Amino acid sequence: MSSHHETADIAIIGAGAAGLMAAYWAAKTNPRLRVVALDGATKLGAKILVSGGGRCNVTHDEVDETAFAGSTRPAIRKVLRRFDVAQTTDFFSEMGVELKREENGKLFPVTDQARTVLDGLLRAVDSVGVRVWHPRRVEQITREDELFVIRGSWGDLPARRVILATGGKSLPKSGSDGAGYGFAQALGHTLTPRITPSLVPLMLPKAHPLTALSGISAVVRIGLYDGQGKQIVSFEESLLCTHFGLSGPATLDISRYVLAARADDPSAALRVNWLPDIVPDQADAALVAAGKTSPLRWVAGRLPERLTRSLCVEAGVDPVAPLSNLTRPQRQALARTLTAYVLPITGDRGYTYAEVTAGGVPLSELDLKTMESRVCAGLHLCGEICDVDGQIGGYNFQWAWASGYVAGSSAASV
Ligand SMILES: Cc1cc2nc3c(=O)[nH]c(=O)nc-3n(C[C@H](O)[C@H](O)[C@H](O)COP(=O)(O)OP(=O)(O)OC[C@H]3O[C@@H](n4cnc5c(N)ncnc54)[C@H](O)[C@@H]3O)c2cc1C
């Protein structure tokens, strides 16, 4: 196997969203540097290509730290502020990628094709002379005197600085299998005690009534409650029933909190209010006030009929009989089912179906002005390997762009 004897000034491990951004800004900031990006994948950018349903939700028109979890909000904010949405839009525009805003604030390429975004990034790194080597899977990174040595079955590469941008564990077949966590640890970092899938569909027991409603969705209020009934977090978004359980933005956004709660507090419960404009406490009174109308009519227009029928069956109530005929216990059961429906989650669909990873290298171990490691001089980190995960809506990419910008431009200016 050949060995590369030339030393890289900056070696970027992982040429995904964060790595390509870091590589561009490193070479752009100091064109004299030899910037090399290594990626294990045969085809670059697999994750960008599948993102946003193949359209790549590049960012969101309003990004701040409240759309993220992990580390601390002030720490996340510090990095996000260095490269905001306007800078992201300008960067892509310069690379010939125009973005459009959709109603919910998500930004997509005007072509509706993720390929446009990947091509823009590849043009960007090419325009500033970054060498992208792939497939070059990295197996080990060691520190030898003043240099890092990056090794793989292809040989080795000495580098003065390393930017670790290997991503998390989501979609492992794309090449992001968590190997980077081992490199970070070997170079002195710790990891958060828990690393779990985030933005992941959740499972219900086999034959749960909702699994018979595959494809049906509704805008609901989904909330996670601790053993004392106190709300931990909630989202008002679309919930999608599937053959295995639940998906859709409401499920994905709350999933990382559900996984954390299940580990810490088995009494935590996930509940759905199918009629988010009615407070559960007032649901019984609302049903009384509804008079002679049937449940199906009363809910009409707010929930798909099949879903309403199924919820009535679960509550033990006839969907077409007058509400005023219900006994008090029946009415209360219906009120509970409609507004405080407990979801008996049995697990999650794992990294293969997760969009992102919760947990990783704590931001407290980095100097956030440069994304340089506090424990290993010359090492920078960016992207999903960090303990930061965003909600659905383009936030995870914005974290990749911003942290990649900070890591790349800083690594090139020392
Ligand atoms: C199905 C899906 C849809 C998504 N949709 C969106 C969306 O629309 N909007 C949004 O904001 N976010 C979305 N995300 C999340 C987003 O894709 C990630 O947050 C983002 O890609 C993380 O960027 P990264 O560069 O840190 O990691 P990655 O994109 O995972 O890139 C890491 C790179 O490192 C390489 N690598 C890993 N280990 C090694 C090694 N040992 N040697 C060499 N190379 C290595 C990998 O091959 C990979 O190319 C989606 C994710 C998935 C899975």
Using alpha carbons only, give the angle 115, 15, 17 rounded to the nearest 5 degrees: 55
- Our answer on whether the CB atom of 57 is closer than 6 Å to any ligand 1 atom is yes
- Our answer on whether the CB atom of 356 is closer than 6 Å to any ligand 1 atom is yes
- Our answer on whether the CB atom of 384 is closer than 6 Å to any ligand 1 atom is yes
Distance 175 CA to ligand 1 centre (A): 8
Model-wide pTM > 0.85: yes
- Our answer on whether the CB atom of 14 is closer than 6 Å to any ligand 1 atom is yes
Does residue 135 have a cis peptide bond before it, meaning omega lies within 30 degrees of 0? yes
Can you give the pLDDT at residue 414?
83
Query: What is the dotted CATH code of the domain comprising 8-195+355-411?
Result: 3.50.50.60
- Our answer on whether the CB atom of 247 is closer than 6 Å to any ligand 1 atom is no
Q: Which residues of the chain have pLDDT under 50?
A: 1-4
The residues near 311 (Cβ < 8 Å, ≥ 6 apart) are 274, 303, 334, 337, 338, 341
Can you give the pLDDT at residue 5?
59
- What distance, in Å, lies between the first and last C-alpha atoms of the chain? 33
Only one residue has tokens 């920078």, namely 380
- Our answer on whether the CB atom of 393 is closer than 6 Å to any ligand 1 atom is no
CA distance 157 to 10: 11
Ligand 1 atom index nearest CA of 41: 47
Distance 131 CA to ligand 1 centre (A): 20
Distance 92 CA to ligand 1 centre (A): 18
pLDDT tens for residues 13-72? 999 999 999 999 999 999 999 999 999 999 999 999 999 999 999 999 999 999 999 999
Ligand 1 atom index nearest CA of 168: 30
Q: Where are the beta strands (DSSP E) in 244-388?
A: 245-247, 269-273, 341-343, 347-348, 356-358, 366-367, 372-373, 379-381
Share of the chain residues as helix, strand and coil, in percent rounded to the nearest 5: 35, 25, 40
CA distance 35 to 26: 7
The residue extents of the domains of the chain are: 8-195+355-411, 202-348
- Our answer on whether the CB atom of 311 is closer than 6 Å to any ligand 1 atom is no
Can you give the pLDDT at residue 176?
87
- Our answer on whether the CB atom of 197 is closer than 6 Å to any ligand 1 atom is no
Distance 99 CA to ligand 1 centre (A): 20
Distance 45 CA to ligand 1 centre (A): 8
- Our answer on whether the CB atom of 49 is closer than 6 Å to any ligand 1 atom is no
Q: Which of 380, 396, 398 to mutate to test the pocket of ligand 1 (most atoms within 8 A of CB)?
A: 396
Whether 197 and 396 have beta carbons less than 8 Å apart is answered as no
- Our answer on whether the CB atom of 178 is closer than 6 Å to any ligand 1 atom is no
Can you give the pLDDT at residue 392?
97
Distance 167 CA to ligand 1 centre (A): 5
